[in-house]
Chains A and B, each alone.
Chain A
Amino acid sequence: MASSDEMSYVTRRKVGEQPLWRHGKPLLGRIDVELTERCDNDCVHCCICLPEHDEGAERREMSTSEVQAVLTEAAALGALSVRFTGGEPLIREDFEELYLFARRLGLKVMLFTNARGVTPQLADLLARVPPLELVEVSVYGMSEETYEAATRRRGSYEEFRRGVALLLDRGVRFVVKGALLPGLAGEVAEFEEWAATLPAMTKPPGYSMFFDLRGRRDSELRNRAICGVRLSPTHGVAFLTRDRERYLKGMREFCTRFMRPPGDVLFSCGAGHGACIDAYGDVQPCLPMRAPETVVSLRERPDGLRYALTEAFPRLRETKATNPEYLRRCAVCFLKGLCEQCPAKSWAESGTLDTPVEYLCEVAHEQARDLGLLEPGESAWQIEDWKARVERI
């Protein structure tokens, strides 16, 4: 054994920036756990939420011990962190118990929340036993009027403000992200000015704006409402490019790395490299992917997490598109890096994994025209010398 008196025995490592593994990566890096699909808000744009008091959903949800078993298995497979999401995870009565259970397993916890359910007791807990990941708070408006126009719950704005104030008061580090609904769209300057005052906000907030349809394909009515608040491609691109210099700088690097036709392999994303557990104990290859043929039920097979990661998901990732329209367009389209088309979104929109999502296609083409990658009237899948086009920017 060599003496280590020339250096420290203990090294503080920043995950993702410094190498952690010398002998090989663990099977699982992070696990996402959707604790519930229920939410105390009723946001018009939401692709997930069920009513807070939906008894049927609540009955089917994973029990405390089922979630604990998932966390234990994830830690055994090497996961360093868990992301608790929903629905609104804080409406579960056992949230604090699950949070502490995860932290005692040595998992860092990322929490996605609207902050309405942050109580003095929870804020104290997060201060005493820090999550070691930033809490992420969704923001729907900067005034009661705009916020509650989105959440459709009276009193929600005051509770959100109180929750955020508690986090600030206890020194719990959090970031905010905005949902670009008509209300917040008119308050972007105010939102970003406020966000810049938050201790953990080192860069401007992110936004959700090209809203997904319902992941369970459970409500035509709600889908119509979502389509009603989606930004038009023109408005969306105008928003993305509002700080043009910064946008172009980012896009130059991004396009060089990610612009190319994906071919007929459907999962060219990261889906299936990790695991997401839905509220009812199904292991999904990514958070939005609800297609029944892509998930593994932990209630049917207790070894489902390992099985998904070692057998089911690697097999799934080899799936090839067969839809002629997808093969004609998406498979040969070099805008893949710009386009949010993916099997999960295809399934939400059409019920198949390989149907082009027209809205996303239009957004990607609008963005490409803005960047000078396409001329008006051109379709990206028809461009053969796409490498020359990418070099334009």
Chain B
Amino acid sequence: MSIALEDVYKPSDDVVAREIEGEIIIVPLVAGIGDMEDELFTLNDTGKAIWDQLDGRRSLAGVVAAIETEFEGSEDGAIERDVLGLVAELVQRRMLVAA
């Protein structure tokens, strides 16, 4: 599946995302995402910054722009790569869906 900058994504109803002590914890809700006991998913700092912007209204281009404003001075193209990379991974894991 190709991810384009004009696409809009939102967290899937198949997971519950919680912010606890500064960490984003993604808890599977339905079968097939992470059914084994004691297994949860966390995002790294880059992932967390991007996740916070994925509200189901903003396009990925808008997400990139928002994060570029927040993190001035990032390497050219790095934020776009991160946004597309994270979204691809979360879509593949069924944690994110097209809005």
Contact = CB atoms under 8 A, between A and B. Distances in A.
A10 B40 CA distance: 10
Contacts of B5: none
Given A12-B34, A108-B27, A23 B21 contact: yes
A127 interface: yes
Contact of B29 (A24, A26, A129, A173): A129
Interface in B3-36: 16-18, 20-23, 25-31, 34-36
Contact of A106 (B17, B35, B85): B17
Contact of A11 (B28, B30, B36, B44): B44
Interface residues of A, number: 41
Interface string A1-41: 11111011111111111001111111000000000000000
A353 B43 CA distance: 45
A13 B29 contact: no
Contact of A15 (B20, B39, B49): B39
A75 B20 CA distance: 9
B89 A8 contact: yes
Contacts of A1: 45-46, 49, 67, 70-71, 74, 78-79, 82
A140 B81 CA distance: 58
Interface stretch (A130-138, A308-316, A331-339): A130-138
Interface in A103-139: 103-108, 127-130, 132-134
Contacts of B52: none
Interface residues of B, number: 45
A209 interface: no
A304 B57 CA distance: 39
Nearest to A5: B81
A374 interface: no
A9 B23 contact: no
Given A7-B44, A10-B89, A173-B37, A104 B16 contact: yes
Interface of B: 16-18, 20-23, 25-31, 34-47, 49-50, 67, 70-71, 74-75, 78-79, 81-82, 85-86, 89-90, 93, 95
Top 6 closest A-B pairs, CB basis? A106-B16, A9-B47, A1-B71, A3-B78, A106-B27, A4-B46
15 contacts: A1-B45, A4-B86, A8-B89, A11-B41, A11-B43, A13-B42, A21-B21, A21-B23, A22-B22, A23-B22, A106-B25, A107-B27, A129-B30, A132-B36, A200-B37
